[in-house]
A and B are shown apart, each in its own frame.
Chain A
Amino acid sequence: KQEVTQIPAALSVPEGENLVLNCSFTDSAIYNLQWFRQDPGKGLTSLLLIQSSQREQTSGRLNASLDKSSGRSTLYIAASQPGDSATYLCALSPGGYQKVTFGTGTKLQVIP
């Protein structure tokens, strides 16, 4: 059974800092990994999708990496802004007809 862990559970940083969020998983047989953002009381917004054959994806100030051999993915946020404050979740798909498994999330607060 796939286990997905996100550390830290919560993170508070001053505006402008670069930061890294971590996602660890136990089963490297994944098809893709997706990072989501969730604002309080809202649904999930997709940020980046990394296919298993890829090592990283970039979108604006966000960069996500994937290392299947070590069972890790990181989400790098450059020059953080207060608007980045949200919960960030990673989700792994094993492909085929198998369900997507989510981590527990990291709650980020960027202080102005």
Chain B
Amino acid sequence: NAGVMQNPRHLVRRRGQEARLRCSPMKGHSHVYWYRQLPEEGLKFMVYLQKENIIDESGMPKERFSAEFPKEGPSILRIQQVVRGDSAAYFCASSAKDRGAIGYTFGSGTRLTVV
């Protein structure tokens, strides 16, 4: 079991470009959570998804950010028209049905740098 896989590990984008971050949950896990860690801050919840459904997006910025978890394939966190302030580490976690935060497994994260 490869665990939660995130790619790329590092991503550099120029201001105004789009960033796509991918997360493949652990085998058997159907719940995906995205977190963002800004420099000098703790991890902040962004969005919680199940297959083809967004369950809680209360932590997502209102503009430019979107997330999906299709029936097939990884979960995608998409940031349009990136700005310098989007530079951060983005972590994905997955859990099995009904385990929620108790059964979290984290990926290694994607470090986004906007230049």
A complexed with B: no
* Chain B residues within CB distance 8 Å of chain A: none
* Chain A residues within CB distance 8 Å of chain B: none
